[in-house]
Structure 1
Amino acid sequence: MKKIFFAILLTLGFLACTDNFEEANRNHFLISDEELDQDFNRLGSPFQSLLSNLFGHQIEEDLCHDNWVRHLGTPTPFVGGVNNTTYYMRWNTYWNRIYNSVMSPAAQVIKQADEGGYEVFSAWAKLLQIYAISKLTVYHGPVIYSNYGVSGQANIYDSEPALYAQLFTDLDAVQSVFSSNKDYQGLKKFDASYSGNMAQWCKLINSLRLRLAMRIVKADANLAQTQGEKALGHADGLLASNGDNFNVSLYGAKLPMNVICFEWGDTRMGAAMESFLIGLKDSRIASYFAPASDNTLYPDHPDWPYKGIHSGAFLEAKDQRLTYSTVNESFKAVTSRRSFTYSEVCHLKAEAALRGWDNAGDAKTNYEEGIIASFADWGAGGVDAYLADATSTPIDYVDPKDSKNNWTSRSTVTVAWNEADSDELKLEKIITQKWINNFTNANEAWTDHRRTGYPKLPYNTKNDSGADWGVIAADDFLRRVPFLNSERENNAEGVADATQKLGGPDEIGTHLWWDTGGSNF
């Protein structure tokens, strides 16, 4: 009997120990499936990475479009001074960031959200795919979008006309979901930009539609006007104040420009920024840059103690120009970066008004409001005097370290609006101000420069373009980035088809669809 009783106790003890076996043996430092599903964690957790990877770092931005559009210049002669900034391609990685860190994880969110019936999360992920691809296509032209993830067709690129048509269609679908769910609270926990405010996201959708519409205005004027007027007249509105700005959180990371400038010493103020900001007496210069640490560098403008580095310059040694103007120290403390501002919307509306689009308002009013909003956003003063200045123009540039980098300003633009000016000159003023405002967001500034030719920036003094990647004339600018070598090697058929859709050789001098050249009207 004792043996039987002991066996019963042992059995009961075993059952008691295993009754909560799964909980007892769970790793409490990991998130369970149940916890992932609570408060939309499974769907929402990828969005921090999706938003962060809309932007690149040194070899994706600073040594590419930040230099090409002359916002910044490098003191460092990378790879013997022959590199992207001098029109010889060394780095081409933004494609991988967009596909690996935005398109792919967003597709997974869309799949899970669709399966679970969470249409707002699905639409939000789709919107970030649209946003990301709209930034990537200005590098290459044709990209993989409508066929992305489609079995048997996943390597087929969209032509640019087909891509933009699809982007507008997809914006319609996203807009329908967001507009129908204004009271939805599910995004709040994961949305560091707008705290889940659906009305704010609806304004961004309309603003993005207007940006893309204006981008293609010279390639397909009818589609551009249709989509632009759709955005301008939509009941949900556009970004309407600096409080509506689409700022993307750094999520505790450092602003890449800050790291590149202060920790690596590889970027400085661009010479064109020196020319325009000092020439136009623009107080935003103090928000963007710090005075040069060598007071002998600017004898031509001693009252404005700044010195920039020409992009595409002759450089001998990094140490020669480290005393030129860094970016402003305040960038060390920023917690987010600008991605789409109210000022940009004002300038888009000013151009739309020039083109006679419905609901665009008055060109002068929009132009001046864009400048006022930019000064306020950047914490600069003196905007009234700036708007009234009809005589100040960009200055010539002198490089005290190497006169080969000197140049005479191609631009004689002023600030004050004049109704008697031609539409072409008015557009030059609008785009010049848009370029100044879009500091730290050079992707769109580079797009505008190729589309319109404005602002009238200096050409490279050192031009290493050639047979390898294509030739850029001495009086022209790099027009695009070639398709990736990995795509050429692993998707040769897709790249061949994409090159045919591009309408020219897969080279840096081939114009994109919307970059038609010639008059803007």
Structure 2
Amino acid sequence: MALFALAACTKRFDELNTPENLLPEEEITPALIGQAFAFSQYHGLCAVYVEVGQTLHADMYAQYFTSVPAAFSTDQFMPNGSWVDLFWKDFYTKAAPQLYLTEKVTAENDLAVANAIAKIWRVVIYSRMTDYFGPVIYSHFGEQANSVPFDSQHDIYNDFFKTLDEAGAVLKQNPAGNGFGQHDQVYAGNAAKWLKLANSLRLRLAMRIVYADADKARTEAEKAVTDGVIMVNEENANVLSTTNSVNILSRITYLIDFRASATMISTLTGYNDPRMPDYFSPSVTGNQFTGLRNGLPAAERGSQLANVTSFVGTKWLSPDRKGTLTPNRVLCAAEMAFLRAEGALRGWNMGGTAKDLYNQGIALSLSERVAANPTQISAYQNSTATPAALPDKWNSPKVSDLPVLYDEAGGFEKQLEQIITQKWIALYPDGWEAWAERRRTGYPRGYAIIASESPDVSRTELVRRVTYAPVEISTNRAAYDEAVGMLGGPDENYTRLWWDKKPLADYPVPTD
């Protein structure tokens, strides 16, 4: 009787073990796959665990924000594995599976345009992961094995360029095509716009590897510009925010856990930057734009700092905890202009001079963020003002002596610093990209943190990566050990990634 009962149950096993609000994979049709893709777009940006995934890692290391709670140690260069577990597992159990399914179903049903778009999105979200960790689970995802191998970052980047080639070829053949329609939260399925995003993404990734493989970087960058990158703000790539998928940063702005970094306040104040009130709110006490130095010792942090320092601008504020509808930035025209400016500085064919493209990047950002008119833009571009000293307890000097006005007589590093600093301002609040660029170039130089708790990373150095999620050590140990071997150093936050090859002698020392 027991065997009979077991047999009867197993005949209905799938039915009994499928939650009523979920569909099994075999029932996902082309008509439904758009919903899976939309899910992967939002969750692929670390939507659920934005605080532990972005704010308390990349945003701190880019020096957009600094942390307030005494118990939070990442701003003092100490890893927190429990935080990494949260957003690592969220990525690999939510965003990655939905995108994997999207690619599979669109390929099996000959939905060429939709499949190409999904491939481009794979490059978007996995590039963020590999630039955090180095080797990650990538080509072997979905194998459902007991041990899932990681890919080296070098191999991942090579596959990124290959994937963009494949997707771009399809979209070029279908310029009027559409994939996913309104389910696509970036361009509503517009094939021509996704092609420009693919080219723009190629340019971003090409520049990332310039110190690791200069020849390939130039080849890929020039190819991207020739094929056409995003050049106007109307084509910027943003993930739409809705009442069901609110702006990611605004999900946590009811908290007091982070405030403006002194590096941002010194820079924007000194430049009299019109984006200041767009990016930040004045302090409650004193009604001034005020920042905090990064790396405050625990004894100096606490809720008492919240009212005397600046928080994010109103477009991200969500006192009702419901979030705002500000779109989530993926990539913009200003970034493309600054990337082209750097390429031109390196002697590449970028369709303009370094100076002109630098000024174009400034104009695009100012016009997008604060609707600046030509007179305001010109005044900013020609300003010789430098970042400001801060009247804080440390008597912080100005974070740099860098003017906005492009220094045509300056050397390569001076001009590069200007380009990256203005790109850093324009990227806000995208800490993922800003931190990657700070590691790659050393700019903006930023302030030295007040105190480091790390025995291996001093207060005047940079954190180079995020350490792996402990769950991989406990459940995927053999693959984890191989990943560390490919990393080329210990699984520590001071180990440099494959593309992080700029000579340390060329890095600026943060301002003390």
- Measured against the shorter chain, the TM-score band is 0.7 to 0.9
User: Of residues 481, 488, 496 in structure 2, which corresponds to 1:496?
Assistant: 481
Per the normalisation by structure 2, the TM-score is: 0.86
Aligned residue identity for 2:38: Q
Structure-1 residue corresponding to 2:42? 52
Shift of 1:260: 2.6
Aligned residue identity for 2:285: D
- For the pair shown, the structure with the greater C-alpha radius of gyration is 1
User: Of residues 442, 446, 454 in structure 2, which corresponds to 1:457?
Assistant: 446
1:343 to 2:334 alignment:
yes
Structure-1 residue corresponding to 2:463? 478
CA separation in 2, counterparts of 1:95 and 1:225? Answer: 32
C-alpha RMSD over aligned residues: 2.4
Conserved 8 A contact 1:87-1:465: yes
Shift of 1:397: 3.2
Residues 290/51 of structure 1: CA separation in 2 closer, same or farther (3 Å cut): same
Shift of 1:122: 2.2
Structure-1 residue corresponding to 2:7? none
CA separation in 1, counterparts of 2:371 and 2:439? Answer: 28
Shift of 1:62: 0.9
Residues 349/316 of structure 1: CA separation in 2 closer, same or farther (3 Å cut): closer
User: Of residues 98, 106, 114 in structure 2, which corresponds to 1:105?
Assistant: 98
Shift of 1:86: 1.3
Structure-1 residue corresponding to 2:178? 185
Shift of 1:216: 0.4
User: Of residues 77, 85, 90 in structure 2, which corresponds to 1:87?
Assistant: 77
3-state SS, counterpart of residue 311 of structure 2: coil
1:120 to 2:113 alignment:
yes
CA separation in 1, counterparts of 2:146 and 2:209? Answer: 26
Aligned residue identity for 1:373: L
Shift of 1:42: 1.5
User: Of residues 18, 43, 62 in structure 1, which corresponds to 2:33?
Assistant: 43
User: Of residues 139, 155, 159 in structure 2, which corresponds to 1:166?
Assistant: 159
Structure-2 residue corresponding to 1:307? 290
1:175 to 2:168 alignment:
yes
Residue deviations 1:127-167 (CA, integer Å, cap 9, x gap): 22211110111111111212223476962222121111111
Shift of 1:284: 0.6
Conserved 8 A contact 1:43-1:121: no
CA separation in 2, counterparts of 1:328 and 1:228? Answer: 34
3-state SS, counterpart of residue 128 of structure 1: helix
CA separation in 1, counterparts of 2:87 and 2:275? Answer: 29
Structure-1 residue corresponding to 2:4? none
User: Of residues 499, 502, 506 in structure 2, which corresponds to 1:517?
Assistant: 502
Structure-2 residue corresponding to 1:384? 378
Shift of 1:96: 2.2
Shift of 1:103: 1.8
CA separation in 1, counterparts of 2:259 and 2:121? Answer: 31
Residues 264/474 of structure 1: CA separation in 2 closer, same or farther (3 Å cut): closer
User: Of residues 220, 227, 238 in structure 2, which corresponds to 1:227?
Assistant: 220
Aligned residue identity for 1:54: G
Judge which range, 380-389 or 249-258, deviates more. 249-258
Structure-2 residue corresponding to 1:281? 272
Judge which range, 432-441 or 43-52, deviates more. 43-52
CA separation in 2, counterparts of 1:149 and 1:376? Answer: 43
Structure-2 residue corresponding to 1:421? 410
Residue deviations 1:159-189 (CA, integer Å, cap 9, x gap): 1211111111111111112221222234222
Residues 274/176 of structure 1: CA separation in 2 closer, same or farther (3 Å cut): same
Shift of 1:499: 1.1
Within 5 Å, which residues of 2 pair with 1:266-415? 266-295=257-286, 305-314=288-297, 315-332=300-317, 333-379=324-370, 381=372, 382-390=376-384, 392-399=385-392, 403=393, 406-415=395-404
Aligned residue identity for 2:420: I
Shift of 1:198: 0.9
Conserved 8 A contact 1:409-1:458: no
1:445 to 2:424 alignment:
no
CA separation in 1, counterparts of 2:26 and 2:454? Answer: 56
Conserved 8 A contact 1:58-1:256: no
Aligned residue identity for 1:384: S
Structure-2 residue corresponding to 1:12? none
Aligned length: 468
Structure-2 residue corresponding to 1:197? 190
Residue deviations 1:274-309 (CA, integer Å, cap 9, x gap): 11000111111011111122228xxxxxxxx31012
CA separation in 1, counterparts of 2:403 and 2:22? Answer: 60
CA separation in 2, counterparts of 1:450 and 1:101? Answer: 28
Shift of 1:226: 1.1
**% of aligned pairs identical?**
32
Conserved 8 A contact 2:132-2:466: yes
Aligned residue identity for 2:256: G
CA separation in 1, counterparts of 2:303 and 2:24? Answer: 51
Within 5 Å, which residues of 2 pair with 1:125-136? 125-136=118-129
Residues 416/489 of structure 1: CA separation in 2 closer, same or farther (3 Å cut): same
Structure-2 residue corresponding to 1:19? none
Judge which range, 406-415 or 436-445, deviates more. 406-415
Structure 1: tracts of 5 or more residues without a match? 1-28, 297-304
CA separation in 2, counterparts of 1:380 and 1:72? Answer: 25
1:254 to 2:246 alignment:
yes
CA separation in 1, counterparts of 2:277 and 2:93? Answer: 37
CA separation in 2, counterparts of 1:498 and 1:31? Answer: 34
Aligned residue identity for 1:364: K
Aligned residue identity for 1:43: I
Residues 398/154 of structure 1: CA separation in 2 closer, same or farther (3 Å cut): farther
Structure-1 residue corresponding to 2:419? 430
Residues 397/517 of structure 1: CA separation in 2 closer, same or farther (3 Å cut): farther
3-state SS, counterpart of residue 370 of structure 2: coil
CA separation in 2, counterparts of 1:462 and 1:33? Answer: 50
Conserved 8 A contact 1:280-1:394: yes
CA separation in 1, counterparts of 2:137 and 2:305? Answer: 43
Aligned residue identity for 2:356: T
Per the normalisation by structure 1, the TM-score is: 0.85
Aligned residue identity for 2:77: Y
Structure-2 residue corresponding to 1:299? none
